[in-house]
Amino acid sequence: MSLFAECPLDLPDAELRLLPGWVTAEEADRWLAQLLAETPWEQPQVVLHGRAYAVPRLVAWYGDPGARYRYSGLCHEPRPWTPLLAGIRRRVEAECGQPFNGVLLNYYRGGQDSMGWHSDDEPELGLRPLVASLSLGGTRRFDLRRKGATRIEHSLLLEHGSLLVMAGATQHHWQHQVAKTRQACASRLNLTFRLIRSPA
């Protein structure tokens, strides 16, 4: 049985698998509390049209030595795996059947924190990257649109303890975002596990 036969989302040219309740709420609560307490958050600046803006969320990048990753226009050296992140990595690797050498943590403090349209298609991830995304905390909407289009074709709710696996040609054909919302929402932590194939 293929990895994606289980609960696939039927989008053409994409391989998406959403596992709600991938970890129990109790375990997800523990992971969230510990990660919020122990993560040294950063808020990178991006330069757009000559002006610097702070990204609208907090981030941290962990990984194996040498797993440098470029996001928000900057190259980031990895922090060493903590025992908790190393343990979560093993569980995600067992689920996905492939290794990961880095994880990007994104902390959305409230509805005004967000991530704009993009694909996880940095060259260092290779051609058909498998990215596994674990969500902890408040539910947020995750939108998908085809590259080159403006219409949202599909939206998912990423709940506490859910795992979203994006694979195959997904990043080649599709973009995703977590849009700002005026609705009340609890803070949310997202962990995207990645395999850096070549140094940035």
Query: Minimal distance in Å, beta carbon 193 to Mn ion?
Result: 12
The reply on whether position 190 binds Mn ion by CB under 5 A is no
**Structure tokens, 191:** 């962990």
Residues with Cβ within 8 Å of residue 3, at least 6 apart in sequence: 17, 96, 97, 165, 167
CA 133 to chain centre: 4
Per partner kind, with CB cut-offs from 5 to 8 A, the member of ligand AKG, Mn ion, none near residue 142 is: ligand AKG
Pick 34 or 119: Cβ nearer Mn ion: 119
The reply on whether position 142 binds Mn ion by CB under 5 A is no
Pick 115 or 195: Cβ nearer ligand AKG: 115
In this structure, which amino acid lies at residue 87? G
Query: Minimal distance in Å, beta carbon 192 to Mn ion?
Result: 6
108 touches 178 (CB < 8 A): yes
In this structure, which amino acid lies at residue 66? G
Pick 45 or 155: Cβ nearer ligand AKG: 155
The reply on whether position 171 binds ligand AKG by CB under 6 A is no
In this structure, which amino acid lies at residue 114? S
Tally the C-alpha atoms within 13 A of residue 71's C-alpha that lie toward its C-beta.
30
The reply on whether position 196 binds ligand AKG by CB under 6 A is no
Query: ∠ CA(67), CA(73), CA(76), 5° rounding?
Result: 25
Query: Minimal distance in Å, beta carbon 26 to Mn ion?
Result: 28
The reply on whether position 132 binds ligand AKG by CB under 6 A is no
Residues present in the chain in total = 200
Query: Minimal distance in Å, beta carbon 57 to Mn ion?
Result: 12
CA-to-CA distance for 73 and 166, rounded, in angstroms? 23
Q: Which position among 142, 167, 195, 196 is part of the footprint of ligand AKG (CB under 6 A)?
A: 142
Query: ∠ CA(57), CA(183), CA(15), 5° rounding?
Result: 65
Per partner kind, with CB cut-offs from 5 to 8 A, the member of Mn ion, ligand AKG, none near residue 191 is: none
The reply on whether position 174 binds ligand AKG by CB under 6 A is no
Binding site for ligand AKG (CB under 6 A): 104, 106, 115, 120, 133, 142, 158, 176, 178, 190, 192
Binding site for Mn ion (CB under 5 A): 120
